[in-house]
Each structure stands twice: as structure tokens, then as C-alpha cells.
A and B are shown apart, each in its own frame.
Chain A
Amino acid sequence: MRRNDQKLLLVIAFTVAALAVAASGVSFKPVQIPLALLLVLVLPGYALQAAMLPGRGTSSVTHAVLTVGLSLTVSVLGGFVLNLTSVGLRAGSWSVFLGAVTLGASGVALWRGRSSDRPRFEWSEPSFGARQAVLMALATVLVAAAFGIANQGAARPTSSVTELWILPGAPPNTARIGVISEETAVVTYRLQLEAGGRTVREWPEIQLAPGQAWQTETAVPAASSSGGPVTATLYRLDQSNQPYRHVIWWRDGRSG
């Protein structure tokens, strides 16, 4: 068996593996992600160029450009094809489409390869020496360190945010009220609900850690009896008695 045929058989094997993973519905990312990347970004282009340009010697670089370029092209145009189907652009339809293109093109390439005795790809792979490999590994480690630093910096909270919200509840004369804390530390709040100028309910202590949310649904007096809007005011217990957040709900408005 010729070297080019071996590579095409490898393409077929990876495609079948990717299709099997997609069909099984297995969600094991370390396998799913590399196979998906291959199926979308590499395999269709490799197979297509083997089918469309047999007998043309190409260098590694041209070969790589054709592989990636054609793979991207197949997915760009494949979206329009799948859009015509009732299923649309879903995991199943994508795997069938990309699998069909890759396997079909591989078959054509194998057939055309047998009918021609000319060489197809001349795959020259420049390789690294030991010192060069160490340097490339060092570069990779440095880039990984750069990402570690950047991620850490971006993930660090830059501001203290608390959201207070109010919406009509499902039953009549009820309100849904919520607090979302994105503060940098645990914060204890006091929440006061008023209608018609008088306090109808109070939550004296709501303690939330960063990223935590609190939500409740509570009855409020009928609009006709209280008049005016329902208001909720949030206070931070560690700060002065100044309102921290304030929301207003007019029941003749149309929220929700």
C-alpha cells in the first residue's frame, strides 16, 4: 500500500471515529473536542484535495493550506446546504454532512489514485533537532504562562456589584423580588418592601456570598387599596442607613 493511501485510510478512520462519537451522544470532552476539530477543520479538506487534485505534487505547506482552506470552505458552504433541510444546522446533520463529504472524497481519491501511477503528495516534513525541540517546548510553556497570568487578571473582580430587581409574580397581587450579589466579599443586606407609602414586609438579614442570589415571591396589597407603586429598597448592614438599591413597580404598567 502506498503512503498516500495509508494517509487516506487514516482520514477515513478518524472520520468514522468522529461520526461514532457524534452518533453515540457521548459527552467526553477530551475525545469529543479533538475529533470534532479534526472533522471540521482538517479531514474534509484533506480528502477533497486528494480527490480534486490527484497527480499534483504539493509541498507540505501548499498541502496544509489546501487542507485548512478547503475544510473551512466546506463548512462555510455546508451551512447553506443544511439550512435547506428540515433538521437544519445541528450536531447530527453536521456530522452526516461532513462525514459524507470526507468519506466520499476519500473514496474518490483512493479510486483516482489507483487509476493513476503518478505521485500525489510529496509530504516533506522538516523536523526539529533536539535543541530546537527544547526551545519550542520552552516557547509553549511561556505562552501557557502568559495565558495563566492574563486569565487570572481577567477573572479578578474589578468592582462590587449588587443587583436588586422586582417583577410581578404569577398570582395576582404578588411580586417577585431578587438580589444578586457580585460583591468581592460576603455582604449582609436588609430589604424593605413598601406599598402606598407604608412598609408591608421586611427581610432584616439577607447574607450573600459573591456570586450568590436570593429570590422570593411575596404578596402585596391590591393596587386599589394601597395606591401608588410598590417599592423595594435594599440596605447594606455594613454601611450607613442610606438606600443601596431601589426598585419601583407600577402595577398598571405591563412588566413581565
Chain B
Amino acid sequence: MATSMVLGQVLWDSLLYRYRSLVTFSGTIVAGFELGNAFDWRDFTSFRVPTGTSTISLTLPLSLSGSVSIDSFVMWCVSNGTGLNLVATLKKNGTTIGTVTAGATSGITWNDLSPSVTVSALDVVTVVFNNATGSTMDIRQISFGPKVTFPIGQWSGINPPTLYQGVVVENVFSVNGSIIGRNIRRLEKQGSINLTHLAESWVRTTWDAFIQNVARHAFFYRWNPVGYPAEVAFAAADQINAPTNMMPPPLMQVQLGLKLITQ
């Protein structure tokens, strides 16, 4: 059991999505599995990586003021009946800054970049895929950018998203009382982010920007980066409650209901 405070993390600010109109790809596109599906924040579309080496390129626009710190590189891959063997290498101006190797089965892999890398206008960020096996490799989402680590822990109410979730079971009885069938309905994975005793300034800057984004888009959520760093969920806001003040002032509390998908 964890004895210290668990600080959850989210990655919502994807540079690929933010500058999606500037993204290019070197390989062959499969109709229906277009490149844009890889960073559209949707769980039902996917991008098919061709065999061999191919590259996603993003040249950051001149209009980018200041710099952006990239500290996370997340990839959600789908197995199509064959073991995955896809290596994605993140580079800044040709220099490797991070690598994600997809696991043997479908799932989300979150790679922390340490140290983080700062990029600014006209920098070229690339993701180089090496699909050596020639198997069909689909990427549901790929994202890199600055993660948000919550400043306060959440002691209870967390639903570890990779655990077996709720199921509604209905037994079907015949007129004479025999069980003749059973239907099940898997409940959606749900969770919530409940943070209390937050500094007012953090809520007004970091949280508010996050919430404005998640009202429209999904994001990646890691509930326990220390104890269970592999338990990453693709999350979508279910209910966003307004932040409120709490005692003692000027502390604040926030609450966000979630739908969670792990694969």
C-alpha cells in the first residue's frame, strides 16, 4: 500500500494535435487509416503504420512564442492478431529524445522524457517508426507534449482503470424455472479526479486550461505514476464540476468525472 501521496498525471496538450495542419508523413497512407487519426483524440479511429521506416514530421510554426517543454511521449497501439513490434523514436532536429516500443499486446505506453526537451519555433520534431516485422500495426493515438502533474494527491475514490470493471448480469428463466440463458453488460470504466486543498493560482492557470480542453477532447491519464506507471488510461470528461473555494481560504477544490478506456 502506498504510504505517500500519489500525484496523478495527465497529458492533454498534444503538439501533434495543436499543430495538426502542419503535420506531414513520409510513408504510404492506407485509406481509412489516415495520419490524422493518430492524433485526433478519438478512440475508434486509427493510423496504420506501413512496413519499414516511416516518419511523422512537425515543423513548429514561426508564430510559436516562447518554448514548449516536452516531457512525455505516449503511444496507444492496437494489435491486429499479431504481436506488436513497433518502435517509435521521437527526435528534435534529428536528435533522439525518446523511444517507445509497443508491447506484445494492444495498449497504451507512456514514456517519461528525462530530462525534458524544450522546443521552439521552427524546430522540427519527428516520430520515426520502425515496423520491421511487416505486421499490421495500428496506432490509435500518439502524443507528445508537457504533462500536468497534480500538486495534491487523491487519497480515495480512485478506480484503477486496468482492473476488471463492473458487469450487470441478467439470468433468464424459463416458465418452468430453468436457467436458459444469461446476458451480461459490461459497464463503462468510470473514475473521477477529486483534488482538494489546491492553491488558487494553480487552479486559475493550470487546471482551468486543462478543463477547457477536456470539455472538447480526450486526454491520457495516469493515476499512479510511481506505484503503477503502466496503468495509463485514455480518458474523456463525463462531468466537469466548477471549482469551488474551500476552507481554509484561499484554497480550492476541483472535481472531474471520467470515462476511462485502457484498450
Partners in one complex: no
B-to-A contact residues, CB < 8 Å: none
A residues sitting closer than 8 Å to B (CB atoms) are none
